[in-house]
C-alpha cells in the first residue's frame, strides 16, 4: 500500500506531480515509498493538468505543500511562482514548486539541472561518485541537446556551465535558436541532426518525449550517426532502455538512462518538500521495484 491510506488525516502533507501526460511518472511510487519508509506523514499523487496557471491559482488556497512539474509545464510553471531560485531563473524552467508555510508563496526550483548533469558526468567518469572535485569531464566536449523545452533548457544550461560547446537540435527550429541565443550555443533543426557529425566523441542528450511509453519504437536520431557519440543520455525513463539507448549501446557509446536523472533530481525535491535529508540509499532500492 504505497499511499499510506491509514495515515491520511488532517496533518497529512500533500504533494503531487503536474503533467500531461502524467500517468507514466514514477514519482508517486518513489515518494510514497520514501515517506512510508521514514515514517513521514505525507501523500504524493499524479495530477493530470491542462493549464498549469489555472491549476496553481485554484490550488493556491488549499494545503498542498509541493508539486513536481513534468512535460509540458516546466516553462509555464516558472511564470506562476512568486519566487524563483536563481538557477531556475537562469534556466528559464521550474520542475519543483514548494509552498512556503509562513506566507503561502510559491517558490520555484530546478532540480533537473543537477540530476541530468551529475548522471552524465558519472557516466563519463565511469563511477557513481558525484562528489568528485576534479574538473568536469564535460569541459571542451561538443554536446548536442535534443529538445528546447524545460528539460532541454536545464541540460543545455548545465552543459554550458561545465564548459561544453553546446548545440541545440529541436523539431521547431525557432525554439532551438532562441535557447541557443540565450545561453551562447548553436542551433539545428532536428531534421538536420542525422547529417551533423563534425567530430568524433560527441555527447548526446535527448530531452524530448520521443521513445517514451507507449511510443517505444520511436527515436529522435538515426542509428548510423550514433558512432560519432561517446556518450548518449536519454531523459526518458519509461522504458528504462529506450530504442535510442539500445542503438547507442550497439554503436559503442556509453549509455546513461533517464532513471539516473530522475533519481538525482528527486533527491533535491525530497529535501525541499520535507525539510529532511534524503535517504539516498533508499531511492535506488525503491526504483528497482518499479
Residues taking part in catalysis: 74
Give me the least distance between CB of 137 and ligand ATR, in Å please.
25
Nearer to ligand ATR, 13 or 89 (CB): 89
| Nearest distance from C-beta of residue 281 to ligand ATR, angstroms | 28
Cα dihedral 88/143/231/87 (nearest 10): -10
Q: Which residue is nearest to ligand ATR (CB)?
A: 149
Cα angle 262-151-87, degrees, rounded to a multiple of 5: 95
Place of cell 574538473: 135
CB of 91 to ligand ATR, least distance (A): 11
Q: Using the rule CB under 6 A, is 172 a contact of ligand ATR?
A: yes
Pick from 120, 151, 226, 244 the residue near ligand ATR by CB under 6 A: 151
Contacts for 175 with CB less than 8 Å, ≥ 6 apart: 148
Bridge partners of 207, per DSSP, are: none
Tell the smallest beta-carbon distance from residue 147 to ligand ATR (Å): 4
Q: In the block, which residue shows the cell 513521514?
A: 40
Q: Which of 134, 133, 96, 137 is nearest to 113 (CA)?
A: 96
The interface region with ligand ATR, picked from 156-164, 202-210, 236-244, 280-288 by CB under 6 A, is 202-210
Q: In Å, how far from its chain's centre is CA 10?
A: 32
DSSP summary character for residue 102: T
The least distance separating ligand ATR from the CB of residue 179, rounded to whole angstroms, comes to 9
206 binds ligand ATR (CB under 6 A): no
Closest to ligand ATR by CB, 18 vs 256, is 18
Q: Total number of residues binding ligand ATR (CB under 6 A)? A: 20
Shortest Cβ 4–ligand ATR spacing (Å): 28
CA-wise closest residue to 269 among 257, 278, 260: 278
Q: What is the DSSP letter of 71?
A: T
Instruction: Pick the piece of the chain touching ligand ATR (CB under 6 A) from 38-46, 166-174, 256-264, 275-283.
Output: 166-174
Does position 75 interact with ligand ATR (CB under 6 A)? The reply is yes
List the beta bridge partners of residue 206.
146, 234
Tell me the C-alpha distance between 267 and 265, whole Å. Answer: 6
Question: Could you say whether residue 208 binds ligand ATR (CB under 6 A)?
Answer: yes
CB atoms within 10 A of CB 140: 12
**Residue 116 interacts with ligand ATR (CB under 6 A)?**
no
Beta strands 83-84; 96-99: pairing state = unpaired
Residue (of 73, 84, 13) closest to 44 by Cα position? 13
Nearer to ligand ATR, 96 or 190 (CB): 190
Cell of 244: 535510442
* Residue 21 engages ligand ATR in binding (rule: CB under 6 A): no
Site for ligand ATR contains 36 (CB under 6 A): no
User: Which residue, 138 or 169, has its beta carbon nearer to ligand ATR?
Assistant: 169
> Contact between 152 and ligand ATR (CB under 6 A)?
yes
Residues that bind ligand ATR (CB under 6 A): 70-72, 74-75, 147-152, 170-172, 175, 190, 207-210
Amino acid at each position: 500500500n504505497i499511499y499510506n491510506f491509514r495515515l491520511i488525516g488532517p496533518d497529512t502533507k500533500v504533494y503531487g506531480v503536474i503533467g500531461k501526460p502524467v500517468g507514466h511518472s514514477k514519482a508517486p511510487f518513489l515518494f510514497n515509498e520514501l515517506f512510508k519508509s521514514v515514517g513521514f506523514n505525507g501523500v504524493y499523487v499524479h495530477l493530470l493538468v491542462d493549464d498549469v496557471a489555472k491549476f496553481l491559482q485554484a490550488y493556491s488556497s488549499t494545503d498542498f505543500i509541493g508539486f513536481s512539474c513534468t512535460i509540458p509545464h516546466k516553462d509555464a510553471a516558472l511564470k506562476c511562482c512568486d519566487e524563483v531560485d536563481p538557477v531556475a531563473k537562469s534556466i528559464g524552467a521550474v520542475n519543483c514548486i514548494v509552498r512556503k508555510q509562513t506566507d503561502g508563496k510559491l517558490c520555484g526550483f530546478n532540480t533537473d539541472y543537477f540530476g541530468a548533469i551529475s548522471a552524465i558526468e558519472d557516466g563519463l567518469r565511469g563511477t557513481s561518485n558525484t562528489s568528485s572535485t576534479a574538473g568536469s569531464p564535460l569541459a571542451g566536449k561538443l554536446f548536442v541537446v535534443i529538445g528546447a523545452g524545460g528539460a532541454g533548457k536545464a541540460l543545455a544550461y548545465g552543459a554550458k556551465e561545465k564548459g561544453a560547446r553546446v548545440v541545440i537540435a529541436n523539431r521547431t527550429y525557432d525554439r532551438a535558436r532562441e535557447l541557443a541565443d540565450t545561453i551562447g550555443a548553436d542551433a539545428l533543426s532536428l531534421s538536420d541532426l542525422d547529417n551533423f557529425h563534425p567530430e568524433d566523441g560527441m555527447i548526446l542528450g535527448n530531452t524530448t518525449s520521443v521513445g517514451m511509453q507507449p511510443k517505444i519504437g520511436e527515436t529522435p536520431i538515426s542509428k548510423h550517426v550514433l558512432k560519432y557519440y561517446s556518450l548518449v543520455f536519454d531523459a526518458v525513463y519509461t522504458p528504462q532502455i529506450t530504442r535510442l539507448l539500445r542503438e547507442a549501446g550497439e554503436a559503442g557509446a556509453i549509455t546513461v538512462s533517464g532513471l539516473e536523472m530522475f533519481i538525482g533530481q528527486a533527491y533535491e525535491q525530497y529535501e525541499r518538500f520535507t525539510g529532511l535529508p534524503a535517504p539516498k540509499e533508499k531511492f535506488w532500492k525503491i526504483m528497482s521495484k518499479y
